[in-house]
Chain A
Amino acid sequence: MDPELINDCVHCGFCLPSCPTYVLWGEEMDSPRGRIHLMKQHVEGTPVTDEMAGHFDACLGCMACVTACPSGVRYDRLIEQTRAVVEREHVREPADRALRELVFQLFPHPRRLRAMRVPLRLSAGLRRRIAPRLERVNPSLAAMADLAPDPVKRVRLPRRVEAVGRRRATVGMLTGCVQGEFFPQVNAATARVLAMEGCDVVIPPSQGCCGALSLHSGRPGQARRFARRTIAAFDRAGVDTIVVNAAGCGSTMKEYADLLDGVWAERAREIRTVDLAEYLAELGPVARRHPLPLTVAYHDACHLAHAQGVRSQPRELLTAIPDLELREIAESAICCGSAGTYNLFQPEAARELGDRKAERVLATGADLLVSANPGCTMQITSAIRRSGAAPIPVAHTAQVLDASIRGLGRVA
């Protein structure tokens, strides 16, 4: 934990109202200012206690505090360093340890995740029935079962998708582990939209997890391994721009150069990572948009809005679609509680935040919820399901654009 970074905090508290855990509990030590204070205590010699670790673990890493901070405090760096220290120095409860192992052995590995999906492939009804029982045994497993979206057919993407019409650029595309497994249709839409906007899209099959989940959970070693593999895969494919449609992956990949060192950092700097919306807004449209008569609520994924500062671009892309009406969700800066593995490790808090978000999403009365992050999509859908309200369809920005450009008249 870098004392310089800690000292940048002037204790003004401007970050408090944007912090989801502070919003929930109103306690200083579960606010960004309080967590930075805890870091300071540690730097000044206080060992990591159970309580301290608990407050760091409760941080969603949503980075809303980074956006809110007028002093430019790099909380993102700080919490990353802190998580590593906690993993290193703090001995967790056995049950907690086991769960963390399970998740880290599972999620970053597409193939293992695929195998895991079988037991999760329960019918909605069955899931509802076993959920309360799971809840009693282990809230985290319940959360996992609760979150897993209904299984969809696997989509195999080609190695290369040719640009439609005049080629304007060649880009690589990250498929992502969760996105690829649970939302393959989003990847398909992303590739199509890019192609229709004049891009050759290169999709290296050897790519795996980008390392985001590991990094956000204090496992920088594992994260670095994944990062190097990802860089190598895209290098080999010969692209210098990677378009990412999952917010969490994008924010991590943009930081590769800081995560790695030496020659790998150099290689990381030579590759540009951009979010899909960011890229499309910058590129400018060539494909014609067909009307989509829909009201759409756009959800700011933390890793997009706060970590990457991408807020206006997706809204611009959506409002450019004829007949589409965009509605803002109240408290849009507050995290939905998904935050990577958060809903697995802090199920109660995640659930409260999810319910809060669901309530505000439903209040917009929109036909469709648009979210650019698979974690958020799972989290909000399951919260709405829990609330007993009629489910609201959720789509990725890419899917909405895809539907409009292809003139489907509705989002597939």
Chain B
Amino acid sequence: MTETLDELARGLAGVLPPGAVITDPVRLRTYECDGLTHHRAVPGIVVLPESAEQIAAVVRLCNEYGVPFVARGAGTGLSGGALPRADGVLVVTAKMRRILQVDLADRRAVVEPGVTNLAITEAVREHGYYYAPDPSSQQVCTIGGNVAENSGGAHCLKYGFTVNHVLALEIVTPDGDIVTLDADDPGYDLLGAFVGSEGTLGITTKVTVRLSRAPETVTTLLAAFGSIEQGGQAVSAIIGAGVVPAAIEMMDALAIAAAEAAVACGYPAGAGAVLIVELDGPAAEVAHQFAEVERICRDNGAFELRTAAGPQERAAVWKGRRSAFAAVGRISPAYIVQDGVVPRTALPDVLASIDRLSAEYGIRVANVFHAGDGNLHPLVLFDDAEPGAEERAGLVSGRILDLCVEHGGSITGEHGVGVDKSRYMPKMFTDDDLDTMQLVRCAFDPRGLSNPGKVFPTPRLCGEVPGVRRGVHPLVESGRAEQF
């Protein structure tokens, strides 16, 4: 540890409870990566604060020493967003997991950032409410991480993402102030801009979320198709018919095989693709939509349709889907989880192109995705023992993102840019676009201490951004600001 960090660690111990500052190298290393394990860095220091005031104190100390800091929730991120800095402090919110207030009359709850997504729903389920965004990792990922990534889930087709369900945030700004961003604030929607900023604009310390009323009826349909093309057409037809299901998820044969191996989900044998369509809302609406979806699926070649009766069967249908990512570990020694978005109507085209890529490179690709909003999660499989396989898989994975951009889509639908995709940002955005985003960054974090090196491809000085102060920023000149 450098002298600066040594000194900082002593300072941190002074503002945090006993045991909340970790400096032992063996312990530190367990924090070296998040859910994306090929980016690693052992953090200089790990802290486990228990309150916003403690986080603010940590951030102020970091400012004093000019040391960068990175927030971390449960470390399930899939873009390396919580990748630590060897020369910095990792601020882990795992001890801040109190549900501070549940207010059913106002349909909202106030929670600390380390509360898991699912814990919110569990706290209000018995009253007929739930927290709508439902990432597959909901049992473990934290609401702070959700806010940073603007996480979505299967049901965001109808209900939207984290940003649509957060009413207020308390944050610690990168210079250590505690500020509340409220959806009801007049003026710039800073709350909206903060959500999805991947920890680069500050650390969330309190979240007010909207609670949604559990729908009267939920119907889940599992439709098996001979091919993924048929499934894709069914998706287009459903949307085209004016039905907005709560969720439309698709899995191809390879993904089905993996899920089967992991959780024996019992999907129809011989399916080239399965579609999970969930409809919810007033019973009368759902009944009508259900008939329509059923007809559309049949018209598009579904050879088996199953309807889940009751919560248990529904859970069984979803089990396969939810476990799909991790389950791929059972059919392949290694894999890359990709996340890209294409316009729904481009799905058949893009899937066919992925097939061709797969054949060309000799790399298997399993497809699991949120079909309703065109969010692909291709799982690029390879054997890390086979020489060259990893490189080829990497190429396939990158080419898939190219496909997304070519079709007017996005390089990430929910996993974020993090450290992993920052180099793809120029494919989607011009320098001017990126510089403009940097203006926001510089407004919040002129010294670039909050999760530096993420999201943006090129390190820049805040003073260097065109169009703003020309010339050297005073902070840089005085040597107090660094590049990020």
Which positions in A face B, CB cutoff 8 Å?
A: 7-8, 10-14, 16-17, 22, 25-29, 33-34, 37-38, 41, 46, 49, 51-52, 55, 69-72
Contacts and interface: CB of A to CB of B under 8 A. Distances in A.
B137 A12 contact: yes
B329 interface: yes
Contacts of A52: 26
B329 A16 contact: no
B30 A29 contact: yes
B262 interface: yes
Contacts of B97: 26
B116 A26 contact: no
B327 A12 contact: no
Given A12-B137, A27-B94, A41 B29 contact: yes
B292 to A, nearest CB: 34
Contacts of B118: 17
A11 B38 CA distance: 11
B26 A13 contact: no
Contacts of B231: none
B76 interface: yes
A38 B74 contact: no
B329 A10 contact: yes
Interface string B418-430: 0000000000000
Given A70-B262, A71-B329, A26 B94 contact: yes
A37 B35 contact: no
B306 interface: no
B37 A29 contact: no
A210 B74 CA distance: 38
Contacts of B326: 10, 12, 14, 69-71
7 contacts: A11-B34, A13-B35, A14-B137, A28-B92, A29-B27, A33-B75, A37-B30
Contacts of A17: 116, 118, 139-140
A14 B26 contact: no
A70 B327 contact: yes
A13 B24 contact: no
Contact of A37 (B29, B34, B48): B29
Contact of B140 (A8, A16, A29, A38): A16
Contacts of B24: 49, 51
Contacts of B34: 11
B33 interface: yes
A8 B384 CA distance: 12
B263 A70 contact: yes
Given A26-B94, A71-B327, A71-B329, A13 B137 contact: yes
Nearest to A23: B97
Contact of B75 (A28, A49, A55): A28
A7 B31 CA distance: 17
Interface in B51-82: 74-76
A28 B30 contact: yes
A52 B330 CA distance: 29
Nearest to A34: B30
Contacts of B27: 28-29, 51, 55
Contacts of A8: 329
User: Which 8 residue pairs across A and B have the least CB separation, nearest first?
Assistant: A26-B94, A70-B326, A71-B329, A34-B30, A70-B323, A26-B95, A28-B30, A29-B30
Contacts of B484: none
Contact of A72 (B76, B140, B262, B325): B262
User: For B74, B114, B262, which residue has the most chain A Cβ atoms within 10 angstroms?
Assistant: B74
A71 B26 contact: no
A375 B141 CA distance: 32
Contacts of B48: 26-27
Contacts of B329: 8, 10, 70-72
Contacts of A28: 27, 30-31, 75, 92, 94
Contacts of A27: 22, 48, 94
A52 B27 CA distance: 8
B325 A12 contact: yes
A51 B23 CA distance: 11
A34 B118 CA distance: 22
